[in-house]
Amino acid sequence: MSVAGERLTRAHVGLIAMLALVVMFEGFDISATSVVLPYLAKDFGAAAPELGRALGIIALGSIAAWLLVRLGDRFGRRPILLLSATGFSLGSLATVLSESVAHYTAIQLVTRALLVTQIATAYLIVSESLPPAARGRANGLLGAFGSFGAALPFLVLAPALASPLGWRTLFVIGALPLLLTPLLLWKLAETPVWLAAQAEGRPRLSALGEVRRLVARDLRGRFVAMSLLWLIVNFATAVSSLFFTLYAVQERGWVPGDFARIAPIGLAGCFLGYLGTGWLLDLIGRRWTVSVMMAALGGLTQFCYTAGSWWAVAAGFLGLQAALGVWVAAYTLNSELFPTELRAAANGWCHNLIGRWGVVIAPVVLGGLTARLGAIGPAAAWLAFSAYLAIPLVWLALPETRARALDAG
């Protein structure tokens, strides 16, 4: 059942609005994990290498999400989104009870698996439900709300630290999607594309069957290339963001009020940056958009982590938030490269089981290189060169998928 040629309807708009709220809190929770690092380090007496290892372990949850994401092909997109949205909210709330770095790491490991499952499934639902001509912009809007949520911890950090719970307050806020569960149960429907595939009797593949299909001649090249692209995107974005709060506090002398100063501009900049990514996807195509965004990601990371003045660091950071819109491009591309009966599994294999190792490796490498060079700034600047590797990859190994209709075939 193709959605080609359809216009946006009220149901489409309602779906985007509902999923945007879910994705917004996903962005909030992932951002909060790194925003609290300086204060968690103070409470638990942890240094940069230990924090890097903790973030690396937490990132393993992104790989474990493969187990859940791929089940969307078997049981449908709707139940997987409901399960992951409710589970990550409970995990955020449980983080408030952390009493050590190890405890914090263990809870966030499970929460991250559910967070990643939720965001991957949300993008999949939008990609399968929207007309091809609007798919990029719709996913861009979803990413914009995610970036809005990611910027919110910087805005509420100062009042959170002044509250009785301190940095833990951020994770209370992160649990608010529990209030959305009744709405999701009532309004969220299964995608017409998935239902059509089931009606045609498309096979429900085992994990081994998925691998065999992905490495078959017609899909092998895009499977390998998409996995490598996700690996680069995960590594480069992790380098750009995970240690920023620690860098700003320890090496640039920022205080909580400084983060609050940039938060309002960051909220607007991030929102517009992600919307812009979605607009570029539909205007100039997937490959050009990935190229532009990854070039910006690498350059802005190097600028931000080598800048000296407060304004330069702040400007670099705000630009980086917009450049993270490359995630929208990667999710959209991944959804368009594979057939319906394999679409969720392909996302799970390419992104979670393979690509997410970039997030696992990045904080460990960044923490180790920081110890070697004596500062976060130069370590992040050197590792930012990884972002540029994505540009030749998308041009040499991946097809353009703009305006491609998604159907059961």
Separation CA 229–CA 246 (nearest Å): 27
In a domain, 251, yes or no: yes
* pLDDT of 6: 61
Q: Which two tokens stand for residue 199?
A: 């009606």
| Residue 409: pLDDT band with limits 50, 70, 90 | very low
pTM (two decimals) = 0.75
pLDDT in tens, 381-396: 999 999 999 999 999 9
Per the listing, tokens 């195509």 go with 285
The mean pLDDT of 120-146, rounded to a whole number, is 84
Measured between alpha carbons, how far is residue 377 from residues 39, 154, 367, 373 in Å? 19, 20, 11, 9
> What is the Cα–Cα distance from 43 to 36, expressed in whole angstroms?
11
Which CATH number covers residue 140? Answer: 1.20.1250.20
Residue 374: how many CB atoms within 10 A of its CB?
A: 9
Calculate Rg over the CA atoms of the chain. Answer: 20
Q: What is the DSSP letter of 116?
A: H
Residue 110 has a pLDDT of: 93
pLDDT of residue 4: 43
% residues pLDDT > 70 (the chain): 97
User: For residue 404, what pLDDT is reported?
Assistant: 77
- Confidence bin at 3 (pLDDT 50/70/90): very low
The answer to the question of residue 48 being in a domain is: yes
Question: ∠ at Cα 236 (45, 211), nearest 5°?
Answer: 105
> What value does the mean pLDDT of the chain take?
87
pLDDT tens digits for 47-83?
777 887 887 788 888 888 888 888 888 899 999 999 9
pLDDT surpassing 70 at residue 97: yes
Average pLDDT over residues 207-217: 89
Rounded-to-10 torsion of CA 407, 187, 31, 124: -10
In a domain, 214, yes or no: yes
pLDDT band at 308 (very low <50, low <70, confident <90, very high): confident
- Reported as a single tens digit per residue, the pLDDT across 4-63 is 446 778 888 888 888 888 888 877 887 888 788 888 888 888 877 788 788 778 888 888
- Which residue in 242, 322, 326, 329 sits closest to 281, CA to CA? 329
Q: What is the DSSP letter of 261?
A: H
Asked whether residue 405 is domain-assigned, the answer is: no
pLDDT at 292 over 80: yes
Beta carbons within 10 angstroms of residue 60's beta carbon: 17
Q: Answer whether residue 262 is part of any domain.
A: yes
Residue 1 forms part of a structural domain: no
Share of the chain above pLDDT 90, in %: 36
Tell me the per-residue pLDDT of 157-184, one tens digit each, with 9 for 90 and over. 888 988 999 999 999 998 888 888 888 8
Domain hosting residue 137, numbered range = 10-397
pLDDT of residue 37: 83
Give the helix ranges, DSSP H, for 164-243.
Answer: 169-173, 181-187, 192-199, 207-214, 217-241
User: Is residue 202 pLDDT above 50, yes or no?
Assistant: yes
pLDDT value at residue 69? 87
Question: CA–CA distance from 318 to each of 24, 199, 296, 315, 365 (Å)?
Answer: 18, 47, 12, 5, 24
pLDDT of the residue at 73? 87
Total tally of structural domains belonging to the chain: 1
Nearest to 197 by CA among 83, 75, 81: 75
Q: How confident is the model at residue 280 (pLDDT cuts 50, 70, 90)?
A: very high
Would you say residue 1 has pLDDT above 60? no
Residue 404 resides in a domain: no
The pLDDT of residue 407 is 59
Tell me, yes or no, whether 139 lies in a domain: yes
**Per-residue pLDDT at 47:** 79
Give the three-state DSSP class for 203. Answer: coil
Angle CA(377)–CA(148)–CA(112) in degrees, nearest 5? Answer: 70
Using a 10 angstrom Cβ sphere, with 0-12 exposed, 13-18 middle and 19 or more buried, the burial of residue 373 is middle
The arithmetic mean of pLDDT across residues 214-236, rounded, is 95
Beta-carbon-side half-sphere exposure of residue 310 (alpha carbons within 13 Å): 9
The Cα–Cα gap between 316 and 332 comes to: 26
Q: Which residues contact 307 (CB under 8 A, 6 or more apart)?
A: 313, 315, 316
Given this model, what pLDDT does residue 303 score?
Answer: 96
Report residue 273 as tokens: 């940056």
**In degrees, to the nearest 5, what angle opens at C-alpha 15 toward C-alphas 409 and 172?**
120
Question: Could you tell me which of 267, 268, 325, 269 has the C-alpha nearest to residue 296?
Answer: 325
Q: How far apart are CA 39 and CA 279, in angstroms?
A: 38
